[in-house]
Each structure stands twice: as structure tokens, then as C-alpha cells.
Amino acid sequence: QLPEKIKIVEVGPRDGLQNEAPHQLHLDEKIQLIESLAATGLKNIEVGSFVSPKHLPQMADTGEILKRLSCKPGMSYRVLVPNQQGLEAALAAGAKEIAVFTAASDAFTTQNIRMSVAESLQRFRPLVQAAQTQGIAVRGYLSTLLDCPYSGKVPSQNVLRVAEALLEMGCYEVSLGETTGRATALDVEGILEDLAKTLSLTHFAVHFHDTYGQALTNVWVALKAGITTIDASVAGLGGCPYAPGASGNLATEDLVYLLHGLGIQTSVDLNQLVQVGAWISQRLQKPYASKAGYALFCQ
Ligand code: HMG
Ligand code: MG
């Protein structure tokens, strides 16, 4: 039984652009990208991160972006926040929703956020509480769902423990990040089955990278398991600067094409999205990496 409707979280302006060279896009162009994505019907868009500009200069203008966007009813512009300093900056810029991010592997968090998994959970607890008292919704990211770029295969009990901790501290949803894109269908089926033994899958989203072309197959497995929120990135932009070799995210165009083909509703106008995907690819001087997007654009 497939869901009737899927919520898409567009992560291109964050996960996509964090992986491009700094200053590739001007602030005005970032705003144009986000507003064009919103105009296609995408309602949940990650627009940047409040992280250290020394680590990730690409995201240094997130405050300006949030201030310049006008958030219409029904829209959610989200940002990543790793610590108290990030939360304060996000609040000052008017953020209404944030995401904290950790992983199931210490080797990954040590590189990505310079702390262990346990330390990240300990730091996030008061942060989530502080955000909630200000009326800010908090999503949790759990990276290295199955595979860590530094330490390889990740035991499912680690995933379970971190997922429970994020939900228990108040995250309304945990996005399961398949960071390297190496996992295949049975791996994803297995971990979702393990999670479903003790937790309801309604609390989870999936976040696939398409490094090995497995993202849509893994989406199919997640849909069959009952997942109804899926992250994707326009034109398949993205990767993680701390996951060497991991290429783009699942392309939003490919996801929407699949969902509409399955008779599942999204709020997105695919043809309009293709125009945005083609434009941003051209602007970044990259080939248009969404298969569905490229095919529709060439018609
Ligand atoms: P740290 O060096 O341990 O932090 O970094 P610190 O507290 O020691 O501070 C060091 C310097 O950073 C200080 O500046 C701070 O002010 C500054 P200095 O005194 O040297 O001039 N700083 C900040 N500046 C602005 N905003 C902040 C902030 N915090 C500290 N919030 C930290 C720790 C987490 C900050 C750092 O490691 C960092 O910024 N990492 C970036 C991580 C990141 O953005 N990764 C990519 C996103 S995760 C991802 O892509 C995966 C995902 O897509 C899911 C998946 O695919 O799996 C979500
Ligand atoms: Mg990612």
C-alpha cells in the first residue's frame, strides 16, 4: 500500500550549494533560486546553515537569506544549526524551523561537527529545548544511516540509539541520511525494519545521496515501508564536504517524476521545476544531473 501524498523537503539551496565552491552564487541569485523553487509548489525548503564560516564559507550568508525571504503561509524555510551560537544567529534572522545534525558514527561527527555522537546529543538537548520555548520546530538529522565514509558499515543498534535520543529530546522528525550513497535496497529495507520494531516510521524522513545511482530504488523501498517525507535536491545538486566522494543528492525532479507516475500527490509543478533545475545547472556550469529533468527539458 503506497501513501496518497508525500511531503518533499527540498535541500538544494543548503545541501546542494554547500558543496559548490564559495561565492559561486551571489546572494540575489540564491534568493532567486529559493523563490523559484517555492513557486514550483515546494513548501519545505532548506535555505542554508548557521555553521562556522571558516568550515563552510558557502553558507556564510544564511542570515541575510532568511531576512530577505518573505515566508508566505504554508511555507517553511529551514536552516541547519549545530550549536548555541548557530541558534542565536538563526533566531536573530527570524528562523521558524531549524535542524540539528548528528550521525550514527563517531568517525563522521568528529570530521563534520568536531565532536563525538554522544557529545552532540548532550549539546543538542538544551539547544532543542531553548528552540522549542521560542516556538521553533526542530528536525534532527541522523547521517551515516548504513555506511560511514571513514569507518564503513554502521551497526543498526547505533542508528536506533541516536534516533531514539533525537526523538526523545524533542525533534519532531528524524531525517535518515544515507550520506555516502553506497547502500542498496535490501540494506535500506533492513534498517527501516529494525527501526520499526521500536519506533513509528511516521517520525522519519529519508535523505538519499545518488552517488551510485541507488537513490530512487531506495525511495521505493522507503515508500513501501510507509515513509511519507523525502528529502531531495533540485538538479541533484549536493554532497557533503565531509563525505569525500559522495556526489549529489536524489534529484527532486526524478523524485517528483516517480511519485506522479505512481499516482502519489505532491504539491509540485514538475515542468516548472525542470526550468529551475536547468537554470541552476547552467548557472553553476554543470551538466543537468536529473535524468527526468534533462529528458523533459530536451522535449
Ligand atoms: P569548532 O571549531 O569545534 O567550533 O566547530 P568552536 O565552538 O570551537 O568555534 C570555532 C570557531 O567557529 C569560532 O570562531 C566560532 O565563533 C566559530 P573564531 O573564534 O575561531 O573566529 N563558530 C561559528 N560561527 C558561526 N556560526 C556558528 C559557529 N560555531 C562556531 N554556529 C562546528 C564546530 C560545528 C561549528 C564546525 O565544525 C562547523 O561549522 N561544521 C560545519 C558542519 C556542516 O555544516 N556540515 C555539512 C552539513 S551536514 C550534511 O551535509 C549531512 C546531511 O545532508 C545529511 C546526510 O547527507 O547525511 C545533513
Ligand atoms: Mg546530505
Q: What is the ipTM of this complex?
A: 0.98
Ligand nearest to the CA of residue 57, numbered in listed order? 1
Q: Is the pLDDT of residue 240 over 90?
A: no
The mean pLDDT value for 172-184 works out to 97
Give pLDDT, residue 72.
Answer: 86
Residue with CA nearest ligand 1 atom 29: 52
pLDDT tier, 102 (very low <50, low <70, confident <90, very high otherwise): very high
Total count of residues recorded for the chain: 299
pLDDT tier, 39 (very low <50, low <70, confident <90, very high otherwise): very high
Ligand 1 atom nearest to CA at 86: 31
Residues of the chain above pLDDT 70, percent:
97
Which of 81-90, 246-255, 265-274 is predicted least confidently? 246-255
Place of cell 535536491: 233
Q: Is the pLDDT of residue 86 over 70?
A: yes
Give pLDDT, residue 239.
Answer: 67
Give pLDDT, residue 47.
Answer: 98
Q: Identify whether the C-beta of residue 99 lies closer than 8 Å to the C-beta of residue 140.
A: yes
Cα 166 to ligand 1 centre (Å): 19
Give pLDDT, residue 246.
Answer: 62
Give pLDDT, residue 101.
Answer: 98
Q: Identify whether the C-beta of residue 7 lies closer than 8 Å to the C-beta of residue 15.
A: no
What proportions of the chain, in percent to the nearest 5, are helix, strand and coil?
45, 20, 35
Residue 74 CB burial class (10 angstroms; 0-12, 13-18, ≥19) = exposed
**Marked catalytic residue, from 71, 148, 171, 240:** 240
Give pLDDT, residue 170.
Answer: 98
Verify whether residue 71 is a known catalytic residue: no
Q: Is the pLDDT of residue 154 over 90?
A: yes
Give pLDDT, residue 22.
Answer: 80
Chain-wide mean pLDDT for the chain?
Answer: 96
